[in-house]
Structure 1
């Protein structure tokens, strides 16, 4: 069994609280990503699971066994670090075999297991080399192989790709995804890169200031963000936010902001008693319209156009608010030209102005 349970877990450094009353269950064979901005506590939480940080309060269980007081080597975990942590004077073979030799595993078994794991990760040609002779991506694969060879119950990854260039990150991300599919080991992965989180995770745990803001699949967090923070953190380009006042009439609900009125049916949202809200709309959900369109309109002058290849990001001012629209490069407006965009109500997000919580009906 390799399920992980955190019950009322806390971590403090003196008077500074880093993790506060955290409760989390990770299922066996699940791939969970801890995501959040720098300083949110995600790496500290991972190190607490690994036994590299003491737990100030609460319990951590792995496979149904409380591990608070167990040494890292007794927890059945293997950890891959950001900086590879390879021994520079050893060959790649010896780096991978190091943990088994410490456990006094027989030489013939070590040989078999090293060859098996190196074949899985494409490291066979490099076993006689030293780490300095390998690229960053190859060194990270060695670090993963050294973790794999222990056949752990749980894999822990602490921002393993952050030192690689964009092309290598993409390649290694695919390799890690394939590795998880083949091994089916419970995996906890820390990153601040939402692309890694969205493409790798079965579930994302989004953290801020030591607290969980939302837990869900990548689709759930993207399509149904729990609050303004989650909506603003997930998604590239960032979601547009407009402060609006809310009023109700015969024709439905009217939201007023950014120099315009937006009329909604409002059935998707809990708007009763709400006077002020934050309207959220993703740049990709804005649609260009001609001069004849009048309803739910955001318009202004294109101040900035960023070419992304197939797409272009158009930034314009509307009622004193900076708005971005993601459009096809072939339909890109000219710089300083007038732009007009609308949206479907189904693509909108609304949040309470005071609490920041989503007003979407659950």
Structure 2
């Protein structure tokens, strides 16, 4: 078992608090992604798991053992950094084998294990080369191989793909996913890239200002965001937000920018007169009038971006704009009059003061 338990973990540098009362349980074999904006504390947490940062308070256990005071090399972890940190004067074989040589593992065993991880990561043809002779993606695979060869209980990845171009990032993301499926090692992965998080994670830990904003599966965090911050951070293009006033007459109504939208309100905790924020993802809009739509409004297209199968359009609404994803085949152009609709089941409502979801 290689479960990780963080109990009331905190980190402070002098009077500056970076992590506050962090509680999380990571299951054996689970792939967990720490996601959040720069400065939210995700890399600091990873370094505390690795033993590279002291824990100010709280308790960290790995595989059932409290490791607050345990040296990094004795924690059963392996870490892959954003910087590949390869030895430029060594061959790829020697880079991968370096940790085993320090442990005085017999050469025959080193050869066997280097051969095994090299085959897994497709590095066999490059073992006699130097790092400078490899591409960025190949160098990152060497860094992963060097971590794998120690057969750790836990893998830690600190934004390992951020130095790669878009095509290599996509390729390496797939490679890391396949690697996890074959090894089943408990993995903690830090990134600010939501696509990496959504495609790799069993669960996402979305962080903000040193605290957990939401822990959930990728599907749940997208479909049922707990706060307006989560809803705005997850999803590309970003969710549309509209300030509304909730009214109760014959039914529930949302008043916004001279519009009055009727909703059943069954899915939300609403009060007459409350101030709320209506959230609608661009992909949840449809073109054309629909009788069962909760949201319907029209306007002239101010911006149209071709994205291949889809197009992103912006339509003025109140004092701002609303964005929607529509089929490119509709041939929408700037200046065209369009009607956008959205069903009630795709709407999100948040309390304007607290940012918490109003979903029942």
Q: TM-score, normalised by structure 1?
A: 0.97
Partner in structure 2 of residue 336 of structure 1: 335
Alpha-carbon deviation of 1:332?
3.5
> 1:283 & 1:255 partners in 2: Cα distance?
19
Distance 1:16 1:105, change over 3 A: same
> Does 1:359 pair with 2:358?
yes
Partner in structure 2 of residue 102 of structure 1: 102
> 1:298 & 1:49 partners in 2: Cα distance?
50
> 2:219 & 2:239 partners in 1: Cα distance?
15
List, as ranges, runs of 4+ consecutive aligned residues in structure 1 with deviation greater than 6 Å.
Answer: 291-295
Distance 1:82 1:295, change over 3 A: closer
> Does 1:272 pair with 2:274?
no
Alpha-carbon deviation of 1:258?
2.9
Structure 1 gap segments, 5+ residues each: none
Partner in structure 1 of residue 212 of structure 2: 212
Partner in structure 2 of residue 127 of structure 1: 127
> 1:330 & 1:104 partners in 2: Cα distance?
64
Partner in structure 1 of residue 222 of structure 2: 222
Alpha-carbon deviation of 1:333?
1.5
Partner in structure 1 of residue 169 of structure 2: 169
Give 3-state SS (helix, strand or coil) of 1:146's partner: helix
Q: TM-score, normalised by structure 2?
A: 0.98
Alpha-carbon deviation of 1:272?
3.1
Partner in structure 2 of residue 86 of structure 1: 86
Partner in structure 2 of residue 30 of structure 1: 30
> 2:190 & 2:279 partners in 1: Cα distance?
27
Alignment of 1:42-121 (within 5 A): 42-121=42-121
Alpha-carbon deviation of 1:295?
6.3
Aligned residues: 360
Alpha-carbon deviation of 1:320?
1.6
The one-character-per-residue Cα deviations of 1:200-238 (angstroms, maximum 9, x if unpaired) are: 000000000000000000000000000100000000110
Partner in structure 1 of residue 309 of structure 2: 310
Alpha-carbon deviation of 1:77?
0.1
Partner in structure 2 of residue 183 of structure 1: 183
> 1:118 & 1:166 partners in 2: Cα distance?
24
Alpha-carbon deviation of 1:305?
0.9
The one-character-per-residue Cα deviations of 1:308-345 (angstroms, maximum 9, x if unpaired) are: 11111001111222100001111141112212101100
Contact 1:213 1:230 in 2 (8 A): yes
Alpha-carbon deviation of 1:269?
0.5
> Does 1:297 pair with 2:296?
yes
